[in-house]
Amino acid sequence: MITLAIARGRLLDEEVNILKKAGYPVDNILKDSRKLIFEYPSLKLKILIIRPTDIPPYVEYGAADCGIVGMDTLMEEKHYLYEPLDLAIGKCKLVVAAPKGFEYSSAGSLRIATKYPRIAHEHFSAKGVGAEIVKLYGSVELAPIVGLSDVIVDLTATGKTLKKNNLIEFETIAEISARLVVNRVSMKVKSEEIKELIRKLKEVRGS
Q: What is the pLDDT of residue 109?
A: 85
Q: What is the pLDDT of residue 102?
A: 87
Q: What is the pLDDT of residue 107?
A: 59
Q: What is the pLDDT of residue 10?
A: 85
Q: What is the pLDDT of residue 140?
A: 96
Domains for the chain: give ranges and CATH numbers: 2-90+177-204 (3.40.190.10), 92-175 (3.40.190.10)
φ/ψ of residue 99, rounded to 5 = -65, 155
Q: What is the pLDDT of residue 105?
A: 67
Q: What is the pLDDT of residue 106?
A: 59
Task: Name the E strands within the chain.
Answer: 2-7, 37-40, 45-50, 66-70, 82-86, 92-99, 109-114, 130-135, 151-156, 167-176, 178-182
Q: Is the pTM value of this prediction over 0.85?
A: yes
Q: What is the pLDDT of residue 101?
A: 86
CA–CA dist 207, 25 (Å, integer): 17
Print pLDDT tens along the chain (207 aa).
999 999 998 899 999 999 999 999 999 999 887 899 999 999 999 999 999 999 999 999 999 999 999 999 999 998 999 999 999 999 999 999 999 888 876 557 899 999 999 999 999 999 888 899 999 998 999 999 999 999 999 999 999 999 999 999 999 999 999 999 999 999 999 999 999 999 999 999 976
